[in-house]
């Protein structure tokens, strides 16, 4: 089961937005659409939603696409942008390169071609893997231990809130939850217990604003209650928020654009989208619980007996190479009293997914990506 991402579409042409919404419904199992009529509307909706991608027009009233692009680049450097416009100049293309725009698509365009660029961009958000139903604490400690450079987008299943963590060489550089940033945002994220993680193998943040290892952040977050989380959010400077809300765009930044007439027969220019390679993701591991039987045989028999062939079982095996990682995670769990993790599920995006079970030894179960993930985790969690 994959998490549906949110894509923000910004254009003052309401008829076009509604037409796009209708035509892109068939991709509803991958992403949902949030519509904004101009830049100011988009700024508000960016604050209240965990957005994975922005698709924007350049010519809009009040706050145009160029100004919105600058706002996103400054405030949300992790969110990629696709520009759609009927006005294409060397200056605009230079701006797109400067702001690291994913694609610049000229109007008129084919909706399915736009969808291909959207899907390719969203796939990059999970190039390092996707993990479901996990506690972020132990996994993110592993990111620190392995000196990973990545951007981790997190969605909390209980509150449906979203957050982002930026790691560079194992150091937490920055974090964001709604309007809360830096170490205060990290405190909030580490109070979440049941999340989905999307891992992107790069970090756009250049400055370390956290300046702390994860251990003291986690130790404070573990002792926090819901009231404490609210207090942290209220501690964010009101003057800083007012500054964000009242950002003024200078007239020099306004760009007057002339849209060309649309035609269903024309197609968008093909944009180069880098092919994604399979990248290794640190294994999600679970805490040891001793068994008297062979773990490999027992896991295989339980899945086949209680779920049957529809469990999508491809292989069950042991991997001694991850024993050191298991030991490190177990020590972290004991150190911070996080409780026992027995079963983990890793979404590999391509090929077989993996279920990790820890007993006398670590067992890895390879399953078809279309398997009943929740049922498998529930069955193994019950038995181990």
* Domain total of the chain: 3
Contact 370, 319 (CB under 8 A): no
In a domain, 263, yes or no: no
Closest CA to 192 of 148, 162, 231: 162
Q: How far apart are the first and last CA of the chain?
A: 22
Residue 319: what are its φ and ψ, rounded to 5°? Answer: -130, 95
* pLDDT at residue number 327: 60
Q: Which residues contact 220 (CB under 8 A, 6 or more apart)?
A: 187
Domain containing 23 — which CATH number?
3.40.50.2300
Query: pLDDT tens digit string along 280-337?
Result: 333 333 333 333 458 888 888 888 888 888 788 888 888 766 555 556 556 555 555 5
Domain coverage including residue 174: 129-236
Distance CA 80, CA 271 (A): 15
* pLDDT at residue number 168: 94
Are both 182 and 152 inside the same structural domain?
A: yes
Distance CA 51, CA 225 (A): 27
Q: Which conformational region is residue 195 in: left (phi greater than 0), alpha (psi within -120 to 50 degrees), or beta?
A: beta
Are both 119 and 154 inside the same structural domain?
A: no
Calculate the average pLDDT of the chain.
75
In a domain, 274, yes or no: no
Query: pLDDT tens digit string along 145-183?
Result: 888 999 999 988 888 888 999 999 999 999 999 888 999
Are both 33 and 106 inside the same structural domain?
A: yes
Contact 199, 150 (CB under 8 A): yes
Are both 162 and 65 inside the same structural domain?
A: no
Are both 120 and 146 inside the same structural domain?
A: no
Scan for tokens 């069950």, then name that residue: 316
Distance CA 102, CA 117 (A): 9
In a domain, 277, yes or no: no
Query: pLDDT tens digit string along 85-137?
Result: 876 666 666 766 766 788 888 888 889 899 999 999 998 888 888 888 877 77
Residue 194: what are its φ and ψ, rounded to 5°? Answer: -135, 100
Are both 141 and 168 inside the same structural domain?
A: yes
Closest CA to 359 of 303, 302, 299, 271: 299
Contact 286, 330 (CB under 8 A): no
Are both 111 and 150 inside the same structural domain?
A: no
Contact 14, 125 (CB under 8 A): no
Are both 110 and 67 inside the same structural domain?
A: yes
Parallel/antiparallel/unpaired status of strands 51-57 and 5-10: parallel
Are both 65 and 159 inside the same structural domain?
A: no
Query: pLDDT tens digit string along 44-60?
Result: 999 888 899 999 998 88
In a domain, 359, yes or no: yes
The predicted model scores a pTM of 0.57
Q: Report the percent of the chain where pLDDT is more than 90.
A: 22
């Amino acid at each position: 089961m994959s998490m549906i991402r949110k894509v923000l579409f910004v254009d003052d042409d309401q008829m076009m937005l509604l037409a796009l919404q209708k035509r892109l419904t068939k991709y509803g199992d991958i992403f949902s659409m949030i519509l904004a009529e101009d830049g100011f509307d988009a700024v508000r909706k960016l604050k209240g939603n965990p957005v994975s991608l922005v698709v924007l027009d350049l010519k809009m009233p009040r706050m145009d696409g160029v100004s919105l692009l600058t706002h996103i680049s400054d405030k949300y450097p992790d969110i990629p942008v696709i520009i759609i416009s009927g006005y294409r100049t060397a200056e605009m293309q230079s701006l797109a390169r400067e702001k690291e725009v994913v694609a610049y698509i000229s109007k008129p365009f084919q909706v399915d071609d736009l969808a291909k660029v959207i899907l390719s961009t969203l796939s990059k958000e999970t190039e390092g893997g996707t993990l479901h139903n996990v506690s972020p604490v132990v996994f993110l400690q592993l990111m620190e231990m392995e000196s990973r450079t990545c951007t981790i987008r997190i969605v909390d299943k209980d509150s449906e809130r979203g957050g982002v963590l930026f790691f560079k060489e194992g150091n937490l550089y920055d974090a964001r939850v709604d309007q809360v940033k830096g170490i205060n945002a990290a405190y909030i994220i580490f109070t979440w217990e049941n999340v989905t993680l999307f891992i992107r193998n790069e970090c756009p943040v250049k400055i370390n604003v956290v300046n702390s290892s994860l251990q003291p952040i986690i130790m404070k977050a573990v002792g926090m209650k819901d009231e404490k989380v609210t207090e942290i959010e209220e501690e964010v400077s009101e003057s800083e928020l007012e500054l964000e809300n009242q950002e003024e765009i200078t007239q020099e930044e306004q760009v007057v654009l002339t849209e060309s007439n649309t035609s269903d027969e024309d197609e968008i220019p093909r944009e180069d989208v880098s092919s994604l390679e399979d990248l290794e993701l640190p294994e999600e591991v679970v805490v040891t619980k001793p068994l008297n039987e062979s773990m490999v045989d027992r896991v295989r028999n339980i899945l086949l007996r209680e779920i049957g062939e529809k469990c999508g079982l491809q292989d069950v095996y042991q991997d001694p190479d991850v024993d050191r990682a298991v030991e490190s995670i177990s020590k972290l769990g004991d150190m911070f009293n996080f409780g026992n993790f027995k079963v983990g599920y890793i979404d590999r995006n391509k090929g077989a997914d993996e279920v990790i079970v820890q007993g006398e030894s670590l067992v890895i179960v390879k399953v078809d990506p279309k398997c009943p993930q929740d049922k498998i985790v529930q069955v193994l969690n019950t038995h181990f």
